[in-house]
Chains A and B, each alone.
Chain A
């Protein structure tokens, strides 16, 4: 065996190379089948970051279509309900610079709102029920409708179709349980340009000059 290899070094090398090529080819082929990924996982990930209000403010009919659009290269700053947090998360995920929210698509709401139907004015037309992407409105034809506040995402979509304008977007009241501390931003910004050693430097210089 060794002798034959020694006698035909070129042939032996060729055989070895071909053998290796076949081996790795088979390995790769197996991996391609075994670890196949169904669909586009990035869309799933983007969709997970979006707030799922299904409000359509981005210009797409729901959060998933927008996720698909982002995956296809659309800009990531079109989601006002998600706000800067969502943009940052998306930027993180896609490894791009985080832009600010595109105001064209709406402003980030300070407080979450929830739709409330003025029930004595409701005529029971079911238009808001059809508009609600969450199935968060209960009611039947010619019966009073009402919003399940816990399911409402505050997307506004029910306000437009209401023929009697009896739907209000009410800011969600924060109870003492939901209250949270806020970032101490203001005082920090103020002192940003100061260094401790800068304080009183002018007076020192003045005194030095005097001396």
Chain B
């Protein structure tokens, strides 16, 4: 076995060791405190998760908080007792802040859970050993608290050739490891062997101890006899105990910046941790206590104690005669790297290697810092060869970039620079603050990058939404414009309204055709109404027929009127070249006509008359039947028939009164088809006339009608008829009409010089004469028998035919426009005459 060469580290300082005070007394036990405060985070990594609840009774060695992941460590109950609380409590941390703690009220019995010792641990496999170490909650006891199991399970790409057990303990005052090595050298060596086993027996297994601990070295060497473990001593210098520094001293290799020792094939563990691993593996004891140095002039007793985790610092101090007034402050850890405790209620934890209660003389408060004089002593003292001055300047200027380029993160915060600074500048504090700043800056940077991404994503999203909206808007706009264009085109194609001349030819033609069709259909209906009359000749039938004929006549005249109005308006349009009103009167007329068609009271009356007639027929049939079968019922039936007859006649009277055209004739119900025919002819004649002519002709016809009416009235008076009065009224009405027509005519003649065709008044005269005659005949016929009626009819038809033929001849001679109408009239008359004659022949 070759002896290991000991290297030197750069820099370093030699502060007063002060290690003797605490070694005067042997390692002592400490009473169990009434209350233990167990932080769930006593190690580096994720805090353990409490698995007990308030009020639970726990035994010593029981897990009360479970490791949360690999980078974590279990927390065990150091003794038996009851969980009093799980709360935030001040923890030993430079910030003096609180953290989650499990408060255990001890019962003083110190009952333990049964442990499972492994006699044969040397034969156990690696995984079992690691699991046992992990379960025991072992974290580095040197100061950092790194979970031991993680460190002992290096990655496969890091082959380990050197195992170093750190017994250096370079900080002044602290003697905890020294005492451990002296008193429990066997445990340390056994623990080292377990570690070597875990790391597959590395080439070198070295325990490094500073040469200021000769007793510990001797004890270890004695214990290590016969094993491959080398106990190496090297010159005392602060900070040789730093992991990286010790590796450098014992191997000459430097751990690269930002990497772990395993990267250069080295694993380093503290002697305290090593002993704890042995106890855990061999006896199954979890990590619940440690050796801590309690030292300082403010204490009556200075010694090393084995203390349970969670024991409050003030409880420990009380046990050692702590004089509060004497103490300048209370430091956890050594004077170089420890930190002042703001609160003495904090507990002892896994990393607490020393409680230092110095007097004011011993450790005076830091002198006020003065300006850096650029002496460069800090650079000489730095064990990692940094440039403390530069770092100081950059830290002051918060130039984080420069700090990083000057490798601030390689600083081990040993405090050597501060120690040597003649200006008492708290350099380490600057570095710590700067490190914190940089870490924060990195976090902020990460967050700001995330924020930027989120913001940009949001902007993109909004832009996209806007674009979509815009696209939709454009599409809608386009559609609207197209629709507008179409509309405009349509308007251009149909300049109907603004250009009257263009419209009228087409439209008026249509209108005219429509009206003519209307007229034709009215004629058709009139014809139909006329036809059945020839076959049936009873009184009632005749009346009914007459009523329907009247209706047809009305329709014909209506259609005629419309056509007239239309033609008139068209003429006006042509003259004035204004088209807007063109359709209106026509449409209005049509509307009026339709309304009349549906709702005239006349119709209703006619319906009632018809139904009465039907009932009468039935009643009469019944009477006849009754005469044959039931003679006793006849009288009653006869009365019903009489009543019906009364009703019928009343309805007929009403109907007669309602039909205006038949106002003058006394018995409109007896009007013959001749009347209708005459009306048609007259209408046709009117069709061709100018308004002026029409007026004149109507005036003339009115004169004729007046004459006739007056004659009738006179006749009626002579006969003392009850109709005389009605006739007289008709006469008066006719007179009024004549007066108004004369007025109109005067107006018309004033505005236009109308040419009068000589034959027009003549024809119209003849027509109206015929009508009047027919009406008179009809009145006479009302009282006649059927055969008489027919005979009269035949006579009148013959007369009319003759007259019509005469007119036709006249018209042919003068080449009249109405020649067609005359012709049809003649032919119709001939037909009628023939049917009437046939009927007459049948009857007679």
Residue of chain B at shortest CB distance from A182:
B433
Contact assessment for B454 and A134 in the assembled complex, using a CB-CB cutoff below 8 Å: yes
A contact residues around B95 at 8 Å (CB):
176, 179
**Interface-forming stretch among B118-126, B421-429, B662-670?**
B421-429
A contact residues around B425 at 8 Å (CB):
188
- Does B439 interact with chain A (Cβ within 8 Å)? yes
B contact residues around A181 at 8 Å (CB):
94, 429, 432-433, 435-436
Total chain B interface residues with beta-carbon distance under 8 A = 46
A contact residues around B401 at 8 Å (CB):
89, 92
A179 to chain B, nearest CB (A): 4
- Does B97 interact with chain A (Cβ within 8 Å)? yes
Our pick among A84, A134, A183, A192 for the contact of B455 (Cβ within 8 Å) is A134
A contact residues around B396 at 8 Å (CB):
183
- Does A63 interact with chain B (Cβ within 8 Å)? yes
Contact assessment for B397 and A88 in the assembled complex, using a CB-CB cutoff below 8 Å: yes
Contact assessment for B449 and A180 in the assembled complex, using a CB-CB cutoff below 8 Å: no
CA distance A53 to B447 in the complex (A): 10
- Does B440 interact with chain A (Cβ within 8 Å)? yes
- Does A119 interact with chain B (Cβ within 8 Å)? no
B613 to chain A, nearest CB (A): 77
A contact residues around B99 at 8 Å (CB):
176
B770 to chain A, nearest CB (A): 88
Of residues 349 through 378 on chain B, the ones whose CB sits less than 8 Å from some CB of chain A are 366, 368-371
Of residues 32 through 50 on chain B, the ones whose CB sits less than 8 Å from some CB of chain A are 41
Contact assessment for A51 and B458 in the assembled complex, using a CB-CB cutoff below 8 Å: no
Interface centre among B91, B94, B440, B452 (most CB of A within 10 A): B452
Contact assessment for B370 and A195 in the assembled complex, using a CB-CB cutoff below 8 Å: yes
Of residues 120 through 150 on chain A, the ones whose CB sits less than 8 Å from some CB of chain B are 133-136
Contact assessment for A133 and B452 in the assembled complex, using a CB-CB cutoff below 8 Å: no
- Does A205 interact with chain B (Cβ within 8 Å)? no
Our pick among A153, A183, A194 for the contact of B451 (Cβ within 8 Å) is A153
A contact residues around B41 at 8 Å (CB):
176
Return the CB mask of B437-465 against A: 1 if under 8 Å, else 0.
Answer: 10111001001111110110110000000
CA distance A54 to B437 in the complex (A): 22
Residue of chain B at shortest CB distance from A135:
B458
With contacts A92-B401, A176-B97 known, is A184 near B369, CB below 8 A? yes
Residue of chain B at shortest CB distance from A192:
B371
A contact residues around B703 at 8 Å (CB):
none
A200 to chain B, nearest CB (A): 14
- Does A4 interact with chain B (Cβ within 8 Å)? no
Interface centre among A52, A133, A191 (most CB of B within 10 A): A52
CA distance A187 to B367 in the complex (A): 9
Return the CB mask of B722-766 against A: 1 if under 8 Å, else 0.
Answer: 000000000000000000000000000000000000000000000
Contact assessment for A183 and B433 in the assembled complex, using a CB-CB cutoff below 8 Å: yes
- Does B398 interact with chain A (Cβ within 8 Å)? yes
CA distance A92 to B457 in the complex (A): 30
Contact assessment for A194 and B433 in the assembled complex, using a CB-CB cutoff below 8 Å: no
- Does B646 interact with chain A (Cβ within 8 Å)? no
- Does A75 interact with chain B (Cβ within 8 Å)? no
Our pick among A50, A84, A191 for the contact of B368 (Cβ within 8 Å) is A191
With contacts A181-B433, A188-B369 known, is A51 near B97, CB below 8 A? no
Of residues 153 through 211 on chain A, the ones whose CB sits less than 8 Å from some CB of chain B are 153, 174-176, 178-184, 187-188, 190-192, 194-196
- Does B531 interact with chain A (Cβ within 8 Å)? no
With contacts A180-B433, A180-B439 known, is A51 near B444, CB below 8 A? yes
Contact assessment for A176 and B369 in the assembled complex, using a CB-CB cutoff below 8 Å: no
A contact residues around B370 at 8 Å (CB):
191-192, 194-196
B365 to chain A, nearest CB (A): 10
Of residues 79 through 135 on chain A, the ones whose CB sits less than 8 Å from some CB of chain B are 84-85, 88-89, 92, 133-135
Contact assessment for B436 and A180 in the assembled complex, using a CB-CB cutoff below 8 Å: yes
- Does A74 interact with chain B (Cβ within 8 Å)? no
CA distance A180 to B436 in the complex (A): 5
With contacts A52-B449, A176-B91 known, is A187 near B455, CB below 8 A? no
Contact assessment for A85 and B451 in the assembled complex, using a CB-CB cutoff below 8 Å: no
A contact residues around B94 at 8 Å (CB):
181
Interface centre among B91, B441, B450 (most CB of A within 10 A): B450
CA distance A11 to B395 in the complex (A): 65
CA distance A153 to B399 in the complex (A): 24
CA distance A101 to B341 in the complex (A): 37
CA distance A63 to B429 in the complex (A): 34
> Interface of chain B, helix or strand or loop or mixed?
helix
B contact residues around A51 at 8 Å (CB):
444, 448
Of residues 268 through 290 on chain B, the ones whose CB sits less than 8 Å from some CB of chain A are none
Our pick among A50, A184, A194 for the contact of B429 (Cβ within 8 Å) is A184
Of residues 13 through 69 on chain A, the ones whose CB sits less than 8 Å from some CB of chain B are 47, 50-54, 62-63
CA distance A191 to B426 in the complex (A): 12
A contact residues around B91 at 8 Å (CB):
176
Contact assessment for A196 and B451 in the assembled complex, using a CB-CB cutoff below 8 Å: no
- Does B98 interact with chain A (Cβ within 8 Å)? yes
With contacts A135-B458, A191-B369 known, is A52 near B436, CB below 8 A? no
CA distance A183 to B395 in the complex (A): 8
- Does B234 interact with chain A (Cβ within 8 Å)? no
Our pick among A52, A53, A85, A176 for the contact of B398 (Cβ within 8 Å) is A85
CA distance A190 to B399 in the complex (A): 23
Interface centre among B93, B95, B425, B437 (most CB of A within 10 A): B95
Contact assessment for B398 and A84 in the assembled complex, using a CB-CB cutoff below 8 Å: yes
B contact residues around A194 at 8 Å (CB):
368, 370
Residue of chain B at shortest CB distance from A151:
B454
CA distance A62 to B452 in the complex (A): 10
A contact residues around B71 at 8 Å (CB):
none
- Does B409 interact with chain A (Cβ within 8 Å)? no
Interface centre among B366, B371, B400 (most CB of A within 10 A): B371
Residue of chain B at shortest CB distance from A50:
B448
CA distance A175 to B100 in the complex (A): 11
Contact assessment for A190 and B432 in the assembled complex, using a CB-CB cutoff below 8 Å: no
- Does B430 interact with chain A (Cβ within 8 Å)? yes
CA distance A51 to B449 in the complex (A): 9
Contact assessment for B452 and A184 in the assembled complex, using a CB-CB cutoff below 8 Å: no
CA distance A183 to B400 in the complex (A): 13
Our pick among B366, B434, B440, B451 for the contact of A52 (Cβ within 8 Å) is B451
Residue of chain B at shortest CB distance from A51:
B448
CA distance A160 to B41 in the complex (A): 41
CA distance A51 to B443 in the complex (A): 11
CA distance A100 to B189 in the complex (A): 61
A contact residues around B398 at 8 Å (CB):
84-85, 88
B contact residues around A187 at 8 Å (CB):
366, 368-369, 426
Contact assessment for B98 and A184 in the assembled complex, using a CB-CB cutoff below 8 Å: no
B contact residues around A88 at 8 Å (CB):
397-399
CA distance A178 to B97 in the complex (A): 11
Interface centre among A85, A151, A175, A184 (most CB of B within 10 A): A184
Our pick among B426, B439, B447 for the contact of A184 (Cβ within 8 Å) is B426
B contact residues around A183 at 8 Å (CB):
395-396, 429-430, 433-434
Residue of chain B at shortest CB distance from A152:
B451
CA distance A194 to B424 in the complex (A): 12
CA distance A183 to B97 in the complex (A): 18
A208 to chain B, nearest CB (A): 25
| Given A51-B448, A63-B455, A188-B368, 9 more pairs with CB closer than 8 A | A50-B448, A63-B452, A176-B93, A179-B436, A180-B435, A181-B94, A187-B368, A192-B371, A194-B368
Q: Which 9 A-B pairs have the closest CB atoms?
A: A180-B436, A191-B368, A52-B448, A181-B432, A179-B95, A52-B451, A181-B433, A183-B433, A188-B369
Chain A to chain B contacts (Cβ below 8 Å), 11 pairs:
A52-B448, A52-B449, A52-B455, A134-B455, A134-B458, A135-B454, A181-B435, A183-B395, A188-B368, A188-B426, A196-B370
Please give the residue numbers on chain B whose beta carbons come within 8 Å of chain A beta carbons, in ascending order: 41, 91, 93-95, 97-99, 366, 368-371, 395-401, 422-423, 425-426, 429-430, 432-437, 439-441, 444, 447-452, 454-455, 457-458
Please give the residue numbers on chain A whose beta carbons come within 8 Å of chain B beta carbons, in ascending order: 47, 50-54, 62-63, 84-85, 88-89, 92, 133-136, 151, 153, 174-176, 178-184, 187-188, 190-192, 194-196
